[in-house]
Amino acid sequence: MPKIFDHEKLHVYQASIEFLVWLEKILERIPKRPAVYDQLDRASTSIPLNIGEGNGKFTQRDRCRFFDIARGSALECAAALDVLSAKAILPENEITPGKEILLKIVSMLVGLIKSNSADRIYESQAEYGCDYD
User: Are 77 and 45 in contact, with CB atoms under 8 Å apart?
Assistant: no
Alpha helices in the chain (DSSP H): 11-27, 35-55, 60-86, 92-115
Gap between the Cα atoms of 45 and 43, Å rounded? 5
CA 74 – CA 17 distance, rounded (Å): 12
Q: What pLDDT, on the 0 to 100 scale, is given for residue 89? A: 92
pTM of the model: 0.85
Task: Evaluate whether the domain defined by 6-115 bears CATH number 1.20.1260.10.
Answer: no
Percentage of the chain beyond pLDDT 70 is 87
The pLDDT of residue 132 is above 60: no
Residues 30 and 81: beta-carbon distance below 8 Å: no
* Least confident interval from 24-33, 38-47, 91-100: 24-33
Domain edges within the chain: 6-115
